[in-house]
């Protein structure tokens, strides 16, 4: 069974602070995706990383895929209350597009 452990599980920070969320596994993934989910809604795709060592930026969010394609990180700069939500990483293997979701990181950004 492939497991994706995210850390921290919960993070409460003030507006303007920086943070990093980690997603770790002992398995190799062909690609890794990051989602954000708000209460009562489905996950929304933020980014897909495919190449080991790849770094992608989405405004204040920076995503990195580990060289061995077993882990990933999400860094948020100058967090805003709108960043509040559940962040989920999800790994895909092969071409079947089946995803294994991480344990999730709940982020709360306060004024």
Partner 1 sequence: GAVVSQHPSWVICKSGTSVKIECRSLDFQATTMFWYRQFPKQSLMLMATSNEGSKATYEQGVEKDKFLINHASLTLSTLTVTSAHPEDSSFYICSATGSWDTQYFGPGTRLTVL
Asked if 28 is part of the footprint of partner 1 (rule: CB under 8 A), the reply reads: no
Per rule CB under 8 A, is residue 98 in the interface with partner 1? yes
104 touches partner 1 (CB under 8 A): yes
Note whether 25 binds partner 1 by CB under 8 A. Answer: no
Is-contact 33 90, C-beta < 8 A?
yes
Instruction: Give me the residues that bind partner 1 (CB under 8 A), please.
Output: 31, 33, 35, 40-45, 48, 88, 90, 92, 95-104, 106
């Amino acid at each position: 069974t492939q497991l994706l452990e995210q850390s921290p599980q919960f993070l409460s920070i003030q507006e303007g602070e920086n943070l990093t969320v980690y997603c770790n596994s002992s398995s190799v993934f062909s690609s890794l995706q990051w989602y954000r989910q708000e209460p009562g809604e489905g996950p929304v795709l933020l980014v897909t990383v495919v190449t080991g060592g790849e770094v992608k930026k989405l405004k204040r969010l920076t995503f990195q895929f580990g060289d061995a394609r077993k882990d990933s990180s999400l860094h948020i700069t100058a967090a805003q209350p709108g960043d509040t939500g559940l962040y989920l990483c999800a790994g895909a293997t092969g071409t079947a597009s089946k995803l294994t979701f991480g344990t999730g990181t709940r982020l709360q950004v306060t004024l």
